[in-house]
Amino acid sequence: MIYTLTLNPSVDYITSLNQFNVGHLNRVEEGTKLPGGKGINVSRLLKRMGVTSVALGYVGGFTGNYIETYLQNEQINTDFVHVNDDTRINVKIKAAEETELNGKGPNITAEEMDLLKRKISALTEEDLLVIAGSIPASLPASTYEEIVKTLGENGTSFVVDAEGELLKKVLPYRPFLIKPNHHELGQLFETEITSAEQAILYGRRLLEMGAQHVIVSMAGDGAIFISENEVYTSNVPKGEVQSSVGAGDSMVAGFLAQYEKTKNIEKAFQYSVASGSATAFSIGLATEEKIQQLLDEVNIRKRNGAN
Ligand SMILES: Nc1ncnc2c1ncn2[C@@H]1O[C@H](COP(=O)(O)OP(=O)(O)O)[C@@H](O)[C@H]1O
Ligand SMILES: O=P(O)(O)OC[C@H]1O[C@](O)(COP(=O)(O)O)[C@@H](O)[C@@H]1O
């Protein structure tokens, strides 16, 4: 069974306006509320692709209730730990550029952490856990490392979509897949990634540090897949970006759904990119239909030799 872990879910308020003026009153043209947080997005998209998962994590207050009810209405299995503080609200502004305001998240007590750890230690070698997103500010930076240690003891494989130290610390535990975007990859090595060649170079470093498979997404400039034996590059389909919120999460879901069905890396990568773009071209997450429509526009090329 696939499980997703969102320690810091959010209600995403996705707004669009023609022009965003900092320091002035801005009237929203369209506003949409959606459940968010990286693991939750993965579970929602997996469901649309016919793959069952269970969403784990923390929810609290009226925002937490909203998320839980929304997922249950979509027939997504949830097994959240309930906390006292409200789940955060993240504001996304789509104007000429995209601006995001992501909250810190609720306070998590030691008891609430224990409840979650118990759920994680019940996973087995038959399961895979997708660990995704930031952690609430009250939790230590070692939180993901502690979780993957437990997974290792039970032979549970895992995927990580997180930034900075959270990601770095879990690499020695051999994540099946990680998916930094090119900014996050650059930040890890205190550099700027501006080309596919650089993405491959630094992506390979992540393999050396322990990752089994790496996808580096480069927004409208394509994506790279790197493993010990293969490097693939991809274009992205052309289209109008409505909101890229959840596009990265859709890549993770697309890859896992197709890999689960075919065990074919190239197909899974193609599906991953089509899923990312199908979400970028939507408000909210992609539909399966939209992903299928874009699939033929995603051209995967195998790189030969060491680069
Ligand atoms: N301008 C764009 N045109 C087409 N696809 C896009 C565009 N921006 C993002 N995407 C899709 O979303 C994916 C993830 O975007 P990216 O910004 O790299 O990651 P993240 O959402 O994790 O920050 C890309 O690989 C691509 O499939
Ligand atoms: O946990 P973080 O890093 O603050 O990110 C949370 C945000 O990321 C999202 O999961 C979207 O992620 P992506 O755009 O990277 O796919 C939103 O739903 C949510 O608001």
What CATH number did the domain enclosing 156 receive?
A: 3.40.1190.20
**Closest protein CA for atom 22 of ligand 1:** 248
Residue 249 annotated to the active site: yes
43 within ligand 2 shell (Cβ under 6 A): no
Question: Based on the domain organization, do 196 and 168 belong to the same domain?
Answer: no
The phi and psi torsions of 115 (rounded to 5 degrees) equal -60, -40
Query: Would you say 260 and 197 are in contact if contact means Cβ atoms under 8 Å apart?
Result: no
pLDDT at site 292? 97
Segment 138-167 shows an average pLDDT of: 96
pLDDT confidence of 305, banded at 50, 70, 90? low
How many domains are contained in the chain?
Answer: 2
Q: 296 and 212, same structural domain?
A: yes
Question: Could you give the C-alpha distances from 256 to 53, 93, 122, 140, 294, in angstroms and in order?
Answer: 11, 29, 22, 28, 18
- Tell me which of 173, 199, 219 is where a domain ends: 173
* 32 has pLDDT over 60: yes
Inform me whether the pLDDT recorded for 148 exceeds 60: yes
Determine the distance separating the centroid of ligand 2 and the alpha carbon of 103, expressed in angstroms. Answer: 11
The CA distance from 36 to 255, in Å, is: 19
CA gap 243, 35 in Å, rounded? 15
Measured in degrees and rounded to the nearest 5, phi and psi for residue 5 equal -120, 115
pLDDT at residue 306 above 60? no
Does the beta carbon of 41 sit less than 6 angstroms from any atom of ligand 2?
yes
Q: Which amino acid is at 284?
A: G
Query: Average pLDDT of 28-33?
Result: 94
| Residue to mutate, 178, 245, 275, ligand 2, most ligand atoms under 8 Å from C-beta | 245
- For 155, residues 6+ apart whose C-beta sits below 8 A from its C-beta are 124, 125
State the pairing for strand pair 88-94/98-101: antiparallel
Q: Do 221 and 239 fall into the same domain?
A: yes
User: 173, 203, 227 — which closes off a domain?
Assistant: 173
pLDDT at 31 over 70: yes
Task: For ligand 1, atom 7, name the residue with the nearest CA.
Answer: 220
Q: Whose CA is nearest to atom 24 of ligand 1?
A: 219
- Indicate whether 215 and 287 sit together in one domain: yes
Q: What is the pLDDT of residue 157?
A: 98
Asked if residue 36 and residue 107 are part of one domain, the reply reads yes
CA nearest neighbour of 57 among 86, 82, 80, 87: 80
146 with 215, same domain: the answer is no
Q: Is 224 in the pocket of ligand 1 (CB under 6 A)?
A: no
Q: What number is the average pLDDT over the span 105-132? A: 97
Chain segment 258-295, per-residue pLDDT in tens: 999 999 999 999 999 999 999 999 999 999 999 999 99
Is pLDDT above 80 for 304?
no
Residue that is last in its domain, among 135, 150, 173? 173
List the catalytic residue out of 12, 127, 161, 249.
249
213 pLDDT above the threshold of 80? yes
Residue from 236, 242, 275 to probe ligand 1 pocket by mutation (most atoms less than 8 Å from CB): 236
Q: Are residues 146 and 207 in the same domain?
A: no
Instruction: Let me know whether 202 and 164 are in one domain.
Output: no
What average pLDDT does range 153-182 have in this prediction? 97
Check residue 131 and give its pLDDT: 98
- Enter the ipTM: 0.97
Domain that holds residue 221: 176-307
**255, 216 contact by CB (below 8 A):** no
Q: How far apart are CA 27 and CA 54, in angstroms?
A: 38
Q: Do 197 and 219 belong together in one domain? A: yes
pLDDT digits (tens, 9 = 90+) for 2-22: 999 999 999 999 999 999 999
* DSSP string covering the chain: -EEEEESS-EEEEEEE-S---TTS----SEEEEEEESHHHHHHHHHHHTT--EEEEEEEEHHHHHHHHHHHHHTT-EE-PEEESSPPEEEEEEESSSEEEE--------HHHHHHHHHHHHT--TT-EEEEES---TTS-TTHHHHHHHHHHHHT-EEEEE--HHHHHHHGGG--SEE--BHHHHHHHTTS---SHHHHHHHHHHHHHTT-SEEEEE-GGG-EEEEESS-EEEE-------S--TTHHHHHHHHHHHHHHHH--HHHHHHHHHHHHHHHHTSSSSPPHHHHHHHHTT--EEEPPS--
The model's pLDDT over 80-113, given as tens digits with 9 standing for 90+, comes to: 999 999 999 999 999 999 999 999 999 999 999 9
Query: Model-level pTM?
Result: 0.96
> Domain check: are 281 and 261 in the same one?
yes
Residue nearest to atom 13 of ligand 2 (CA): 246
Tell whether 136 and 190 lie within a shared domain.
no
For residue 195, what pLDDT is reported?
Answer: 95
Q: What is the mean pLDDT of the chain?
A: 96
